[in-house]
Amino acid sequence: MSLTDLEQAISIDLDGTAVSGVYARPAGGDASATIVVAHGAGAGMDHPFMSGFTRALNADGFSTLRFNFAYREAGRRFPDRPPAAIAAWRTVMGVAGELAVQAGRAGEPVWAAGKSFGGRMASMAVASGMDASGLVFLGYPLHAPGKADKPRDEHLPGITMPMLFLQGRNDPFAIPNEQLDAVAERVGPNAVVEWIDGANHSFEVKGAKRPAAEIGASLAERAASFVRAHVPSAE
């Protein structure tokens, strides 16, 4: 996949395993924050949804770092187990901080975001002590489809940083919708759910076909607004 003028391919060492990443900083070097973005279980960092989302954030004044988990880099189908995925998140967040320092932006807020599996692993990493300025979920997999009685939410109420859930109303991983609303209510005012009417788990809307890159980009404005509202120095 070709890179934009702002993007650079990087290699990230995950405890001896090299994985790919793409880092981008807005022209001029200043950024409201760095947003690290992880892919979902079935597609890697180069999926058009991912690049569309991060490139729209770059255009809106944010630095981004998207990356592959080790299983995806190796071409394996099944996602890494949580301990490995959490360790990857910790490493990549550290790399994002180092890149900000190299750009002369020490102390720049670093947020963690992810599509489905990637976002859930970010939240588990934060719950186990990973430092982040906030979380953005692009379709949180609250439960497996049809298994609302087995929610994956036990760690969420302990997270006190800002959290934005961008969720499709027709997402089978979050039906009934009221269940995710109830989770956010238990978490407290730091958790906000924004529902996308008609959207499924990939944020596709029936009868309104759009390229995946455009769908990803359409979510960037919502994410950017939320992050800016929680970054005191941002204009």
pLDDT (tens digit, 9 = 90+) per residue, 155-189?
999 999 999 999 999 999 999 999 999 999 999 99
Residue given tokens 């009221």 in the structure block: 178
Task: Return the closest-CA partner of residue 21 out of 42, 47, 46.
Answer: 46
- Specify the pLDDT at position 233: 57
The pLDDT of residue 207 is above 90: no
pLDDT band at 1 (very low <50, low <70, confident <90, very high): low
For residues 51-76, give the mean pLDDT. Answer: 96
- % the chain with pLDDT above 90: 89
- Specify the pLDDT at position 6: 92
Identity of the residue numbered 152: R
- Specify the pLDDT at position 235: 43
Structure tokens given for 65: 């770092």
For residues 20-38, give the mean pLDDT. Answer: 92
Neighbours of 53 (CB within 10 A): 29
In the sheet with 163-168, reading across from the earlier edge strand, the strands are 7-14, 17-24, 63-67, 34-38, 110-115, 135-138, 163-168, 191-196
- Specify the pLDDT at position 234: 44
Beta bridge partners of 161: none
DSSP 199: B
The pLDDT of residue 39 is above 70: yes
Angstrom CA distances, 203 to 10, 66, 183, stand at 28, 19, 21
The pLDDT of residue 27 is above 90: no
Handedness of CA 94, 100, 104, 106 (dihedral sign): negative
Neighbours of 175 (CB within 10 A): 17
Angstrom CA distances, 228 to 33, 67, 119, 221, 224, stand at 8, 23, 19, 10, 6
Q: How far is CA 9 from the centre of its chain?
A: 19
Instruction: State the chain's mean pLDDT as an integer.
Output: 95
For residues 68-78, give the mean pLDDT. Answer: 95
Structure tokens given for 28: 């001029």
Three-state secondary-structure class, residue 40 = coil
Measured between alpha carbons, how far apart are the two ends of the chain, in Å? 33
The pLDDT of residue 232 is above 80: no
**Weakest-pLDDT range from 111-115, 152-156, 221-225, 228-232:** 228-232
- Specify the pLDDT at position 2: 83
pLDDT band at 131 (very low <50, low <70, confident <90, very high): very high
